[in-house]
Amino acid sequence: MQDKQHIILLFLSMFILIAFVGFFQSWNLALTIFNLCMISSIMSLGINIQWGNAGIVNFGVMGFAALGGLANIIVSMPPTAKAWDAGAIYILIGIIIFILSIIFSILVWLKSGRSKKNKYIINFFLIILGYFLMRYIIDNPIKEIEAIEPAKTGYLGGLDLPVIISWPIGGLLAALIAYVIGKISLGLRSDYLAIATLGISEIIIYILKNEDWLSRGVKNVNGLPRPVPYEIDLQSEAWVLELTKFFNIPISEISSIIVKLSYSCIFFVILIGILLLLEIAQKSPWGRMMRAIRDNEVSANAMGKDIKTRHLQVFVIGSAIIGIAGAMLTTLDGQFTPVTYQPLRFTFLIWIMVIIGGSGNNFGSIIGGFLIWYFWVQSEPLGLWFISQITTHISDTNIIKSHLLENAAHIRLMFMGMILLITLRFAPKGLIPEVKR
Amino acid sequence: MEFLNSFILITNYIIIPGLTYGSQLALGALGITIVYTVLRFSNFAHGEFMSFGTMSTILLTWVFIDSNIKFGTFPTAIIVLPFSIIFTIIYCLLVDKFVFKFYRQQKSKSVIALIVSIGVMFFTGGLIRFIIGPGDKNFMDGERFILKAKDFKMLTGLDEGLTIKSTQGVTIILTILLVILLFWFLNKTKTGKSMRAYSDNQELALLSGINPERIVLITWIITGTLACVAGTLYGLDKSYKPFTYLHLVLPIFAAAIVGGVGNPIGAIIGGFVISFSELLITFAYKKIFFYILPDNFLPDGLFQILSTDYKIAVSFIILLLVLLIKPTGIYKGKIIE
């Protein structure tokens, strides 16, 4: 019973913290923070099922989140009609040929066994051949597609479906890629796995940044459709005008609060849904098996558990959850900007959330997501306030003071590092420790 | 003549930049490898240690330039390097005392130490940005070129010019010196030998009277030196921005793993493998074919295997291939569970 009170107390204080922002800064900001807190929580739930339950180190959060963002484009943007005339189908054919060449070379690799010395050379040439064949097929169509109104389109476009479909699709896309990555790299030791997944996520971002035909690259995709009404449409509705009179705040603010609130409702439902599923999974025999594998691989293996398959399974599930969260994030932003995907913000910050919240506990991940995101956003004004407090006695023209004030925003990195180090040292189990079952 | 021209072209665009970047990576990878073998964890904060070293160099360079201490056309940054190395070592030792020591004594799993090093990475990154700001800093002064393209053309009468920047020269020479010093230390001195013994078998080393605290101290001294020099050389060559050092960690890890983690020679080889493959794969070969092939055979296109935007991604691809095919790396490294 003590545990439940503890959890409720933590969540209550979290809501009070967010309410503080509402009272002292603005409710708009408070809702923005709340929405992003929920997305961060979903991402950390994804990491928690991998690290907390199965002991897999996945540093590829950034890549999976970006794949979710890509799903937004593929599902919801209108197709560029001219691009399909220009031979978009050839791009697909080219990529399929390349993938086939890789599959073929893997088959050759497996068939040739240990004895053959020149299998490296054969495989090398197979893949090179596939690659150049692909380049030969796709280079010209890509050039043509990217030349179609480069300021507006210059890419394939999407399927013009409702954007909410892109969330499960984003999860599926992430799961698909996670399956391939997992097949390749889950056999590695934890350090290597961490570096490998980090590297793969960087490769994904590089592809999204540079393949303009797919995601417009650094030119960004703007104006993604929304699952909720637009502010402008709301402002002409009668009931919104009533509300404006009732609360006595400007109409622009109330419309944007309504939009954010509707996002909050959708996100909340999804968060609770994922949380429930994960809790059921954790309590089920499957969850017990995962923990057994985490705690002692050798004896779990001796009990007849297929460790490789289970690891792959949990890796795919966790990545799919991150993919869903990534898709939601892009929808919330209304645009897809590959440059904003940074490992610091997307990978390591999520890890801090999981560790602080308590690895192995789903409620812990959620509170970690809320708390860390809150301080990540709020430590900038806090740092500025702190610096200006300690430098009040120094005159405004002092170089050191202006320098300090200028760089105060970077205190938040130090702050995050400190929180992580202190938690790991003095409370390695986190805010809400794993439940002993 | 055509072959000479294309040879100069390759030297100018691949060999010299490859050697420079490879040296920088090799120094970084050596630092990671040494921490990995002796202290037994993957140090993600190494990039920020490099950044810290570079920052101290920049600050000291400003002090020196302000007080008008000059050494002819020699870059001031290299003169202040010994002092900034000391700062970096002090910082590394402080971090070890307050952070890493605890986990070493607890005998925590290496994964935990890895996550701890991420905390250190955040903290150091914030500290650096707080002290020097996130902007671009150029701290190269003195003579910029050892050999200019124009002079080379005048000298040899070839069509292609060869440029050697002084930062490139300094990088390669300093790296050679440092590596010789390191290998002399590890292989010939008693302390170096005891360090290797400690990394091979901790219990046995303890039994034979090796003081572990001293080994740890020396490890951080070496790591700090390598990090500071590698960071400064990279910053001199490409201009310093705190942000880039976070992205440098991965190619450095790639170099260490490709060569075989825990093997110093492997780290150096790995650095050059990564740097040359990055350049070879993203180089536009058109100009070379222009010299070698007869005119009417010359097809159009740049002859680039991958576009230059993918330069850094190449190192990750190689890392993945090595992890898949031969996880121990080119030279068999250590595997620590």
Residue A202: name the closest of A409, A316, A360, A346 by CA.
A346
Mutant choice from A349, A353, A413 vs B, greatest count of B C-beta within 10 A: A413
Bridge partners (DSSP) of residue B145 are B165
Among the listed ranges A97-106, A140-149, B236-245, which one has the minimum average pLDDT value? A140-149
Over range A165-176, report the average pLDDT: 95
Domains of chain B: 2-325 (1.10.3470)
How far is Cα A390 from Cα B276, in angstroms, rounded to an integer?
50
> Would you state the pLDDT for residue A152?
76
A73 and A217 together in one domain: yes
Q: Is B126 on the interface with A (CB under 8 A)?
A: yes
How far is it, in rounded angstroms, from Cα A59 to Cα A272? 25
CB contact (8 A) between residue B122 and residue A420: yes
Give Cα A208 to chain centroid, integer Å: 15
CB contact under 8 A, A57 and B114: yes
Query: Inter-chain contact B122–A348, Cβ cutoff 8 Å?
Result: yes
Q: A290 and A244 in one domain?
A: yes
* B221 and A CB contact within 8 Å: no
**Are the CB atoms for A71 and A170 separated by under 8 Å?**
yes
Which element (helix H / strand E) includes B215? Answer: helix B212-238
Is residue A361 domain-resident?
yes
Contact A430/A368 with Cβ under 8 angstroms?
A: yes
User: Residue B45: closest CA among chain A residues belongs to which residue?
Assistant: A417
Contact B38, B212 (CB under 8 A): no
B121, B124, B148 from B101: Cα distances, Å? 16, 17, 50
What is the pLDDT averaged over residues A104-122? Answer: 75
Domain that holds residue A227: 2-79+157-426
Both A290 and A384 in one domain: the answer is yes
Residues A109 and A96 in one domain: yes
The chain B residue lying nearest A404, using CA atoms, is B130
Same structural domain for residues A331 and A246? yes
Question: Is the pLDDT reported for residue B302 higher than 70?
Answer: no
Q: CATH number, domain at A68?
A: 1.10.3470
**Interface touch A425/B118, C-beta < 8 Å:** no
- Read off the pLDDT of each residue in B88-101 and give the average, rounded to a whole number: 95
**A342 domain residue, yes or no:** yes
Residues from chain A contacting residue B102 (CB–CB below 8 Å): 425
Q: What b/e sequence results for B186-195 when a residue is b if at least 16 CB atoms lie within 10 Å of its CB, and e otherwise?
A: beeeeebebb
Q: Enumerate residues 6+ apart whose C-beta is below 8 A from B63.
A: none
- Amino acid residing at B103: Y
Q: Binning pLDDT at 50, 70 and 90, where does residue B337 land?
A: very low
Same domain, A172 and A191: yes
Count of CB contacts below 8 A, A vs B? Answer: 126
Joined together, the tokens standing for residue B216 give: 């740890």
Within a domain: A140 = yes
Domain tally, chain A: 2
Among B110, B123, B133, whose Cβ lies nearest the Cβ of A407? B133
pTM for this predicted structure: 0.91
pLDDT, average across residues A349-363: 92
Task: Please tell me the predicted confidence (pLDDT) of residue A1.
Answer: 45
Angstrom distance (rounded) from CA B282 to CA B277: 8
A211 & A339 share domain? yes
Rg of the Cα trace of chain A?
A: 24
The arithmetic mean of pLDDT across residues A135-140, rounded, is 83
A185–chain B Cβ distance below 8 A for any pair: yes
- A273 contacts chain B (CB < 8 A): no
> Which neighbouring-strand residues pair with B254?
none
Tokens read off for A11: 């969540």
pLDDT category of residue A2 using cuts at 50, 70 and 90: low
Out of A124, A156, A188, a domain closes at: A156
Q: Model confidence over A242-285: pLDDT tens digits? A: 888 888 778 888 888 889 999 999 999 999 999 999 999 999 99
**Percent of chain B's residues with pLDDT above 70:** 95
Q: How many CA atoms lie within 13 A of B154 on its CB side?
A: 5
The answer to whether residue A431 sits within a structural domain is: no
- The DSSP bridge partners found for residue B240 are B137
Is the pLDDT at B183 greater than 70, yes or no? yes
Last residue of a domain, one of A156, A188, A222: A156
The answer to whether residues A122 and A67 belong to one domain is no
Task: Answer yes or no: is A16 within a domain.
Answer: yes
Residue B179 binned pLDDT confidence (cut-offs 50, 70, 90): very high
DSSP string, B10-59: HIIIIIHHHHHHHHHHHHHHHHHHHHHHHH-S--TTHHHHHHHHHHHHHH
* Residue A433 counted as domain residue: no
A151 shares its domain with A233: no
Other CB atoms within a 10 A radius of the CB of residue A204 amount to 24
Q: Which residues of A touch B133 (CB under 8 A)?
A: 403, 406-407
Pairing of strands B145-147, B164-165: antiparallel
Comparing A427 with B293, the larger pLDDT belongs to A427
* Statement to judge: residues A273 and A387 lie in one domain: yes
B333 pLDDT above the threshold of 70: no
Could you read off the pLDDT of A299-343 as tens digits, one per residue?
Answer: 998 988 899 999 999 999 999 999 999 999 999 999 999 989 999
Query: Tell me, what DSSP letter sits at residue A51?
Result: I
A28 shares its domain with A152: no
Closest chain A CA to residue B337: A189
At residue B295, the pLDDT reads 63
Q: pLDDT, tens digit, for every residue of B211-262?
A: 989 999 999 999 999 999 999 999 998 888 888 888 889 899 999 988 888 7
Contact A206 B313 (CB under 8 A): yes
Give percent of chain A with pLDDT exceeding 90.
Answer: 42
Whether the Cβ atoms of residue A170 and residue A68 lie closer than 8 Å to each other: yes
Structure tokens at A298: 């050798």
Interface test with A, best of B66, B95, B110, B123 (most A CBs within 10 A): B123
CA distances from A180 to A99, A365, A408, B310 (A): 12, 26, 42, 21
C-alpha B334, offset from chain centre: 21
**Which stretches does DSSP call E strand in A99-204?**
none
Pairwise CA distance, residues B219 & B240, whole Å? 26
B312 vs A355: CB contact, 8 Å cut-off?
Answer: no
B4-61 confidence digits (pLDDT tens)? 888 888 888 889 999 999 999 999 999 999 999 898 899 999 999 999 999 999 999 9
Alpha-carbon distance A348 to nearest alpha carbon in chain B (angstroms): 8
- Classify residue A434 by its DSSP letter: P
ipTM of the complex: 0.89
Number of residues that this document lists for chain A: 437
Q: Where a domain ends, among A138, A156, A174?
A: A156
Confirm whether A101 is domain-assigned: yes
> CB–CB of B323 and A192 under 8 A?
yes
Q: What is the DSSP string of B280-320?
A: HHH--THHHHHHHS-GGG--SS---SS-GGGHHHHHHHHHH
Confidence of residue A117 (pLDDT cuts 50, 70, 90): low
Instruction: Give the helix/strand (H/E) hosting B147.
Output: strand B145-147
In SS3 terms, A99-123 reads as HHHHHHHHHHHHHHCCCCCCHHHHH
Per-residue pLDDT tens over the stretch A280-304: 999 999 999 999 999 888 899 898 8
Give the residue carrying structure tokens 């923070």: A33
What pLDDT, on a 0 to 100 scale, did the predictor assign at position B259? 87
- Is residue A432 in a domain? no
Q: Which residues of B touch A415 (CB under 8 A)?
A: 126
Looking at residue A113, its pLDDT comes to: 67
> What is the mean pLDDT of the segment spanning A121-126?
82
- Is the domain of A133 the same as that of A279? no
